[in-house]
Structure 1
Amino acid sequence: MSCRMTEERILIVDYGSQYTQLIARRIREAGVYSEIHPCTRPTDELAALNPDGVILSGGPCSVYDDYAPELDPELLRLTRDDGSPVPVLGICYGLQSMAHIAGGAVEGAERREFGRATLRIPNETRTDALLEGIPDGSTVWMSHGDHLTALPDGYTVLARTENAPIAAVRHTDRPHFGVQFHPEVVHTDYGAQLLENFALRICGCEGAWSPASFVETQVEALREQVGDQHVILGLSGGVDSSVAAALLHKAIGDQLHCIFVNNGLLRKGEWMQVQDTFRGHFNMDLRAVDASDRFLDALEGVDDPEEKRTRIGNTFIDVFTAETDALAQDLGTRPAFLAQGTLYPDVIESVSFKGPSVTIKTHHNVGGLPEELGFELLEPFRELFKDEVRAIGELLNVPSSIVNRHPFPGPGLAIRIMGEVTRERLATVRAADAIFIEELRAHDLYDEVWQALAVLLPVQTVGVMGDERTYEHVCALRAVTSVDGMTADWAHLPHDMLGHTANRIVNEVRGINRATYDITSKPPGTIEWE
């Protein structure tokens, strides 16, 4: 399900920038709903969305590259219902594309500019709507090799930096703007102000969108769409599916039926905790199915990560289908809708400005269930980021132990075991993971970390325990900080905390005699190891 959550909407056209999702977040922080679309999407489809504004993202290409994505000139001619032109803001490559097609000059800079720069705003342009509230001499973040050396007809310079004489521009007649720097990143001092200026002052949006307004709008939309039909939801106990269950329960009450499958790959204590929360706290119809033996039998002898995902996914479909059939028999009717907790990053990672992206990992909840199951799909969070879902969870009184819980992959602990998944290895990594989480909580660091996990490596090393030689497995600990999981940095945890955690794992978990800490960021690594 994807419905318009507000009458105001700004579109971000993605040209492949690593910062594109940050643009969408900054616009939403200004109270305006935003969406990201690949630059390959036809302009008439974008026009049909009736945008109040369009932002052209940065990108890795030069406008002169053979494979560079091209800006459709019609995108600069969009009009609103009242006939007024749709405002456009080009960022970095977006600005260069606007200038290039209009006859401006884009050239390789003599000195490539990556990092902080000082923005100089002449007195005569400091009152421009785009730069309102931004002082001369503030810091901006540059990341480019090309820059503008001559403006197209009709444009004027608003600001410059030492290396970019054309750092911000506007069209003299149309509401078209561009900046060479990246206002979306935190390193640009007044970047959020600039994007707010564009959304509110230039596009004329009121800025009334918020998680609270989303709940109100979405509850009404769900009630209207579902009617008197029944909905099933595969509950995992994680943030996304849990908050989705709470939202649907608020909208349709007993018409929601949650199915919680124990695949044997859950975290310590999760099987009972989920049941206690949703039966007790929410009084929902929860059907819990312990199919752990079936999943583990299906994984026997499998060590390839994608094959693990495939077998887990296929087994889940079989179990879920059987439970749905039993539910339909009890209800006397088959549920018409299937709800999932799919988030915006799941969707964004499946799209590239060059077309379908290379599969990094299969997302278990994006296109993971076959069409022949015969359900209409409900994905109320498909256009939201994780922190927005957490905020909605708090509004719906979902317990903080769930709302603030670290993300957990659909394949569970199976992809935190490098190599074959066995019951013994599961017990080992589950115990190590639990200790790591306990220590993060004990040191008041759990909420400072986006995600933390323990990984069991297919490596054995020599150790000495109790004056005896050991030859056991290595455990890797990983903790990252992030805003939405699309990019992440390794968490700089205190050394004494890591040392204490490693000591506990080695002493308390049989089969592990060495622990390491992963200091790889995303990119180039992913958060999970498989």
Structure 2
Amino acid sequence: MIVIIDFGSQFNQLIARRVRECEVYCQIEPPNTPIEAIKAMKPEGIILSGGPSSIYDEHSPKVDRAIFELGVPVLGICYGMQFMVDALGGKVESAEKREYGFARLKTDNKSGLLKDIEDDSVCWMSHGDSSTGLPSGFEITASTDNTEIAVIECNKRRLYGVQFHPEVEHSQEGRKVLSNFLFNICDCKRSWTMKSFVEEEIAEIRKVTNGKKVILGLSGGVDSSVAAVLIHKAIGDHLTCIFVDNGLLRKDERKKLEETFSNNFHMNIIYVDASKKFLGALEGVTDPEKKRKIIGALFIEVFDEEASKIKDAEFLAQGTLYPDIIESKSAFGGPTAVIKSHHNVGGLPEDMKLKLIEPLKHLFKDEVRALGEELGLTEEMVWRQPFPGPGLSIRILGEVTEKRLAILREADSILLEEIRNAGFYRKLWQSFAVLLPVKSVGVMGDKRTYENCIAIRAVNSIDAMTADWARLPHDLLAKISNRLINEVSGVNRVVYDISSKPPGTIEWE
């Protein structure tokens, strides 16, 4: 168990990923976490993240200085190192020459943190302040041309600091530095695996639910699907899933869900066909935000109506992930910039009678996929690309009608089929079709046509915060275009979206 104190770095989630890649469990906590709470977690080590502040800023984040007296190894990264130096009596000043980007790390001592580290390796710097005086007991073990104090160590107290960012790919020996901290200094064991997680979480779910019934809203996405299978493995028929068909789903969505969950896992699933209700509410609506609000409110209404029919249910399960929790902690006072609020974190009704279960709340997306594979979910389900909650409604620009939905469903199905056949599905973050609110003139069979235009959107991304359009082969795009125009009635033109995020967004609405 490693505790990571979040001082606001854009890389704090990356630190956690690197630790977990070493099969060591970790949690990210805000700096205002009480020292007694940190102590109660019984960490083998603590990592202080970087951050955008200067330690001399009036409102710069600070953790209780007693953290250095717990007898637990501490590694400070960038701002975290500067906080350590300042807190223990050293000196930090604004650097005469700021350092951003690549630097060469020259090591003077290869014991402890820098064991087996190659000399003159590339590391990634991003700082305006620098340590200029060390606390008692520390020594400099590495420098760069611009930063004399780049790595510091106090082996007696097991306190360490690095001015660079070992968690980013640009730091060639960064993973080895973190590995040295985890295994040579903290004496961690490689025990964080999906198999161990399944065993522990099943036991926890059984303990918490204690024979009571659980309800879960099953969307067919990766998160809710994995949560459903995990909970079902723990409590069997005490779990009931509710699948709401809002009429805005992709082709054969319900059929695929029934094959996966009802037939393969023999789960209790209530299928609710509310498509007419949703399409009726969306009639004449063209504003994207209104679409989202109508769909969100109606989903809760339909779900609540069905959930109320399940007698003696005491728990509501959700597929909340760790990034949602981290970002929401920031929303409630942490130092990291709030990226977005989440409907499933802090957005539930205050008078909700059901207790909440979130079995995936300490997992990242790649870990959820690994968990899905461990639980026996199909590759198609585990590696499914993200699909928006409002469904195809926000991929139809303008009014949503049954006719326009039929066109988009067929176009989207053909697009995904060709993307899969070409081996690009798992390489892309998202790929989908958009029905534009324009018609154009064409010629088909020597006759004039005036039909719809489909836009193809395919992007590469790591976390959806930024995205770049995918450079798909021209032959593949030509094949997709040819099939769409020939096989989808009502389409005579295809375009490819080559905008990135920012300034655009991944979805069109």
Aligned to 1:19: 11
Once the two structures are superposed, residues 360-388 of structure 1 have per-residue CA deviations (whole angstroms, 9 ceiling, x without a partner) of 65534334442434111111001101111
Aligned to 2:117: 134
Once the two structures are superposed, residues 197-256 of structure 1 have per-residue CA deviations (whole angstroms, 9 ceiling, x without a partner) of 212222222121111100011111111221221111111111111111111111111111
Equivalence map 1:93-108=2 (5 Å): 93-108=79-94
Distance 2:468 2:120 in 1: 29
Change (3 A) 1:153 1:303: farther
Aligned to 2:192: 209
Distance 2:414 2:307 in 1: 36
Aligned to 1:339: 317
Q: Answer yes or no: is 1:284 the counterpart of 2:267.
A: yes
Distance 1:526 1:444 in 2: 25
Distance 1:240 1:180 in 2: 36
Change (3 A) 1:419 1:86: farther
Distance 1:11 1:290 in 2: 45
Aligned to 2:424: 445
Equivalence map 1:26-425=2 (5 Å): 26-77=18-69, 79=70, 85-122=71-108, 125-127=109-111, 129-328=112-311, 334-352=312-330, 355=333, 363-425=342-404
What's the secondary structure of 1:36's corresponding residue?
strand
Change (3 A) 1:91 1:369: same
What's the secondary structure of 1:170's corresponding residue?
strand
What's the secondary structure of 1:410's corresponding residue?
coil
Alignment partner for residue 477 of structure 1, among 457, 462, 473?
Answer: 457
Q: Which AA in structure 2 matches 1:475?
A: A
Aligned to 1:4: none
Large movers: runs of 4+ above 6 Å: 356-359
Distance 1:525 1:176 in 2: 44
Once the two structures are superposed, residues 124-148 of structure 1 have per-residue CA deviations (whole angstroms, 9 ceiling, x without a partner) of x112x21122211222122223322
Q: Is the 8 A contact 1:14 1:353 kept in 2?
A: no
Instruction: Give the stretch that moved more between structures: 51-60 or 464-473.
Output: 464-473
CA-CA distance at 1:512 after TM superposition: 6.5
Change (3 A) 1:223 1:75: same
Q: Which AA in structure 2 matches 1:15?
A: F
Distance 1:210 1:27 in 2: 12
Distance 2:286 2:22 in 1: 46
Once the two structures are superposed, residues 45-92 of structure 1 have per-residue CA deviations (whole angstroms, 9 ceiling, x without a partner) of 333333222111112223333443234323333x2xxxxx12111111
TM-score (ref. length: structure 2) = 0.90
What's the secondary structure of 1:162's corresponding residue?
coil
Q: Is the 8 A contact 1:347 1:382 kept in 2?
A: yes
Instruction: Give the stretch that moved more between structures: 42-51 or 444-453.
Output: 42-51
Distance 1:424 1:217 in 2: 48
Change (3 A) 1:497 1:176: same
Q: Is the 8 A contact 2:469 2:497 kept in 1?
A: no
Change (3 A) 1:70 1:502: farther
Q: Which residues of structure 1 form unaligned runs of 5+?
A: 1-8, 80-84, 329-333
Change (3 A) 1:462 1:108: farther
Once the two structures are superposed, residues 241-295 of structure 1 have per-residue CA deviations (whole angstroms, 9 ceiling, x without a partner) of 1111111111111111111110112122112110121111111111111111212
Once the two structures are superposed, residues 24-56 of structure 1 have per-residue CA deviations (whole angstroms, 9 ceiling, x without a partner) of 011111111111122344444333333222111
Q: Which AA in structure 1 matches 2:263?
A: G
Q: Answer yes or no: is 1:500 the counterpart of 2:479.
A: yes
Instruction: Give the stretch that moved more between structures: 105-114 or 391-400.
Output: 105-114
Q: Is the 8 A contact 1:481 1:491 kept in 2?
A: no
CA-CA distance at 1:421 after TM superposition: 3.5
Q: Answer yes or no: is 1:491 the counterpart of 2:464.
A: no
Identity %: 51
What's the secondary structure of 1:409's corresponding residue?
coil
Distance 1:199 1:403 in 2: 30
Distance 2:403 2:15 in 1: 45
TM-score (ref. length: structure 1) = 0.87
RMSD: 2.7
